[in-house]
Chains A and B, each alone.
Chain A
Amino acid sequence: MTDLQLWISALEIGSFYGLIALCYLIVYQGALVFNFAIGGYAMMAGIATSWLATEQGAPVWLAMLFGVVLCVGSSVLTEMVVVRPMVRRSGHDELPKLIAVTAVLFALEQGAGAVFGRGSMPGQWLFDIEPIEMGEAVLDGAALQMFVVTGVVFALVAFWLNATRAGRMLRAAGDNPVAAQVLGLPTDRIRLTAFFVAGVIAAIAGIVFALKSGITFRSALPWSIKGFLAAVIGGTGGAWAPLVGGLLLGAIEVFVPFYLGGASVDYVILLLAAVFFVVRPQGFFARRIRV
């Protein structure tokens, strides 16, 4: 546990999982659904950015803008075309929405493969950042960007949730949707806002994480799964909870292979997930709801 390089890796992938988990949390607060399409949005942003920059020769900043717009558009459309009609038909029944957003995930995955190609694509650098040597360890530019982006995003979201009217409405709707409706809160708008914000965060996460080793249309499902696990582990108790879940998952992904070998990591993660599902489904940080 004293190898700094391992800690850097754990923090890097943990930060990414934390960002995806944050998207889950925000959508859950606004729509009371675990949006499994989140990994699909992030993949879409990363792969669209790479495609436009490398295959079409567009400037990187323009490609990133395109990726963000596509990702946010996909997220918002999911709310308007898939989730909203279901809410109107079946109220707060969870299962139909879950199935529908999972179908969206697979549609995004195959759609991206068909449109942008099924090969891997390289991540795109907006700024060229030189690696920083720290003794025997190296902090490369991709990891540094991930750390900065994660810190900024979590700080902004924490501020937004706690100190703005929109954020407080989102929390209110998530804490008690029935009461929120009775009180006349604009629940449709709150839900749309949640999908919009989650789309922006997913886009940033996907574009930045693609720098690590590239991106493929197949990234969507594993990202959705890992983000979901991070959300379950962290819980819904606050804006920073997903980061805790993500960092723990990242540490497991790095230190379990180091001590037990690479073949064991998936089993340990699934075991951990099973423990949380059974023993503490509310995660480390549970929401306290006053009824």
Chain B
Amino acid sequence: MLVQGKLKVAIAAGAVMAAIAFPGLSHAQAPAAKPAAKSAPAQKAAPPSGDPIIFGIDEDATGPGSVIARMSVRAMRLAVDHINETGGILGRPVKIITENDESDATKTPAVTRKLLEQGANVLFFATAGSSIIQAKPIVKEAKVISFGTYTITAAVTAPPDNEYVFSMGNANADVTTLLCQGWEAAKVKRIAVFGDGSATVDTILKGFLPALGKCVEVVTTERAPVDANDVTAQITRIRNAKPDAMLTIANGGQFEVLVQQTARRLMPKVLRFSTASLGNQPDAWKLASPSGLEGLIFTGSATLSNPLTKQLDAALRAKHKDFVAVAAFDAWSWDAVMMAKAAIEKAGGVSDKEKLLAALTSISGFKSSFGQPGFTLSFSPTKHVASDGLCGMNFSVFGKDNKPSPQLWKTYQPKC
């Protein structure tokens, strides 16, 4: 009697908590992958003065994308420090203000308005693509140029309300094109797809699967909750489907380490590909068991053969003692700040918002901190994704030390 009576209350509480806890029934979060860097050594310049130009950052500081957002904001702060040390923008200092939306799309509109009320002249969204989409009407109304610093969700920069919204890395369509080219070179005909259970991956899969189906046979698609403790069942199903390769589409981190380790153990002869979230999360590599990531091929964006990438890597390494390696999120964010700077200088300030937009959308041939050497970025009134083509990406491969090998995947690289 006593036990049953007490259980009623506990069960009610447990049910509420379960609704919060099961990611398969709720939402999760964000992005995917590519690398980069840029810019010159600090030159002596007159210190900036006057009213600061305000860069407002919506950072997922405590939510599910906080690890990625931290990388992005770290690079943006480095870029702003560099700008201020080299004379500011048009002689004015740059000041950063931040707010936190936790990658929660319901919070993003309020956070965006708050940043605008605090005087933000340019907005940077270090948050999930689904969150940025909620901010689009607000930035359009405010006429403030805005950058998604690590999103590759096509809907972010697509109409409607996209006039003032821009992103940096190659969009999903480029990733599928590159994968198809790589698989053709590797004679991969049958692939299995493994995705995490997040809403972001739901969206990505809707675009990916039809596109991939045009170049290979997708023999099975498996999913697992983002906080899954074990994926042996899904990998066993994939093994039983006898694919030539497995493609993982996930938010990276702990989940993808678990997937890659299990796949390597249970089907060591099957090629493993990733859309690079894990490849762009150096802090997560240490989670893998010895050689657990060896052989994983990912569509990366950072290669130290690009001198600007190398420069950014060195700058971050000098600034942060725990820095592991430069990745796409660093480089995209750095370049977003630098492109904003270029646009402001071209427009002669931030007061004329339409002139600033026109300046940004006329930038072309901007040397990128990511992609292959010489890769460039540009915007136009109809092109809101900065990357100029597939050479913003490469195929990288993990070595025995659970780090991307300096040698890119030998079987195929995009022709640049």
Q: Interface with B: A5-13, A72-80, A155-163, which one?
A: A5-13
Q: Is A110 an interface residue, CB under 8 A from the partner?
A: yes
Produce 1/0 per residue, A170-210, CB < 8 A to B: 00000110000000000000000000000000000000010
- Which residues in chain A, 221-270, are within 8 Å of chain B measured between CB atoms? 221-222, 224-225, 228-229, 232, 236, 253-258, 261-263, 265-267, 269-270
Tell me the bound Cα distance from A225 to B283 in angstroms: 28
Q: Interface with A: B32-40, B121-129, B227-235, B241-249, which one?
A: B227-235
Produce 1/0 per residue, A87-114, CB < 8 A to B: 0000000110011001000000010010
A6 touches B62 (CB 8 A): no
- Which residues in chain B, 251-301, are within 8 Å of chain A measured between CB atoms? 253-254, 257-258, 261, 265-266, 283-284, 286-288
Closest chain B residue, CB of each to CB of A266: B24
Q: Is the interface of B mostly helix, strand, loop or mixed?
A: helix
Q: Is B14 an interface residue, CB under 8 A from the partner?
A: yes
Tell me the bound Cα distance from A76 to B1 in angstroms: 29
Given A118-B70, A282-B7, A289-B2, A36:B287 Cβ within 8 A: no
Produce 1/0 per residue, B60-72, CB < 8 A to A: 0010101100100
A-B pairs with beta carbons under 8 Å apart, 6 shown: A16-B229, A213-B257, A225-B14, A266-B24, A273-B14, A287-B3
Which residue of the partner chain, among A3, A95, A110, A224, contacts B62 with CB atoms under 8 Å? A110
Q: Is A34 an interface residue, CB under 8 A from the partner?
A: yes
Q: Is A219 an interface residue, CB under 8 A from the partner?
A: yes
Q: Is B318 an interface residue, CB under 8 A from the partner?
A: no
B7 touches A138 (CB 8 A): no
Given A5-B236, A6-B233, A221:B21 Cβ within 8 A: yes
Tell me the bound Cα distance from A111 to B229 in angstroms: 23
Given A9-B230, A289-B2, A263:B223 Cβ within 8 A: yes
Contact residues in A for B24 (Cβ distance below 8 Å) = 263, 265-267
Contact residues in B for A95 (Cβ distance below 8 Å) = 9
Give me 5 other A-B pairs in contact (C-beta within 8 A), A222-B21, A255-B233 excluded.
Answer: A3-B236, A119-B283, A140-B265, A273-B18, A282-B4
Chain B: interface size category? 35 or more
Q: Is A277 an interface residue, CB under 8 A from the partner?
A: yes
- Which residues in chain A, 264-285, are within 8 Å of chain B measured between CB atoms? 265-267, 269-270, 273, 277, 281-282
B224 touches A36 (CB 8 A): no
Q: Is B317 an interface residue, CB under 8 A from the partner?
A: no
Q: Is B17 an interface residue, CB under 8 A from the partner?
A: yes
Given A253-B229, A289-B1, A94:B25 Cβ within 8 A: no
Q: Is B225 an interface residue, CB under 8 A from the partner?
A: yes
A109 CB, nearest partner CB in chain B, Å: 10
Q: Is the interface of A mostly helix, strand, loop or mixed?
A: helix
Q: Is B410 an interface residue, CB under 8 A from the partner?
A: no
Tell me the bound Cα distance from A55 to B286 in angstroms: 12
A229 touches B14 (CB 8 A): yes
Contact residues in A for B254 (Cβ distance below 8 Å) = 120, 213-216
A214 touches B257 (CB 8 A): yes
A16 CB, nearest partner CB in chain B, Å: 7
Closest chain A residue, CB of each to CB of B220: A261
Given A219-B227, A254-B230, A232:B20 Cβ within 8 A: no
Which residue of the partner chain, among B9, B67, B231, contacts A94 with CB atoms under 8 Å? B9
- Which residues in chain B, 51-80, are within 8 Å of chain A measured between CB atoms? 62, 64, 66-67, 70
Q: Is A84 an interface residue, CB under 8 A from the partner?
A: no
> Number of A residues contacting the other chain (C-beta, 8 Å)?
67
Highest count of chain A CB atoms <10 Å: which of B23, B233, B283: B233
Contact residues in A for B223 (Cβ distance below 8 Å) = 261-263
A225 touches B229 (CB 8 A): no
Contact residues in B for A269 (Cβ distance below 8 Å) = 22
Contact residues in A for B15 (Cβ distance below 8 Å) = 273, 277
Q: Is A121 an interface residue, CB under 8 A from the partner?
A: yes
B229 touches A13 (CB 8 A): yes
A210 CB, nearest partner CB in chain B, Å: 10
Q: Is A54 an interface residue, CB under 8 A from the partner?
A: yes
Produce 1/0 per residue, A1-29, CB < 8 A to B: 00101101100110010000000000010
A102 touches B13 (CB 8 A): yes
Q: Is A58 an interface residue, CB under 8 A from the partner?
A: no
Highest count of chain B CB atoms <10 Å: which of A13, A95, A263, A287: A263
A10 CB, nearest partner CB in chain B, Å: 8
Q: Is B6 an interface residue, CB under 8 A from the partner?
A: yes
Contact residues in B for A232 (Cβ distance below 8 Å) = 7, 11, 14
Closest chain B residue, CB of each to CB of A289: B2
Contact residues in A for B90 (Cβ distance below 8 Å) = none
Q: Is A65 an interface residue, CB under 8 A from the partner?
A: no
